[in-house]
Structure 1
């Protein structure tokens, strides 16, 4: 009888750990990793290094937002399209002189992204807290 009780205790304990781990993985914060403000730096452009703030918000399950000048001297540019993956994000915006431009960023850690603008210029992003 002691062996049966021990066996049932181990099974119930295992089921409790398994059910707890499933609920922890489904937290809403994990699906909103890219939502928020990111300071994007683009290196080596013809005008030098460029900085902008990407303000990303989730509306109806999709990311949208705009790019802002950190100094506030230029008007905000709306994102025309956002493609989101588990580890990367593509931000599209329209520039008057160049048409639609994309920035591809890949997750480095919880507060940093790394990628390229138009597959030509290196870019990094830092989460603004």
Structure 2
């Protein structure tokens, strides 16, 4: 994690549910990345059964920038620019104090379809 905490009690685990426009199932091999307001990586987690859990403080969540995208085998993402290059989707959470579970805005169909096409291209190049 990029942040330094005054105590471990500052950290909570926030849960995020991810949905995809026009489909009722979840996509495999998707990750969630969280950056702070200054663009520093807080954490990234795989999405499992449509959910990801991220440890951070509520203060970090207030200004967090949250992105969802395809799992990038062998590539390490540490900057916002790298996420944009990989065509990750920025999602909104609608922050509310005290809330620990969020339903993120749905990933647009035009975005997740591109992920599928890109994954096929990546496989063919191997």
TM-score with structure 1 setting the length: 0.32
- Rg larger for: 1
Structure with the bigger RCO (C-alpha within 8 Å, sep 6+) is 2
TM-score with structure 2 setting the length: 0.33
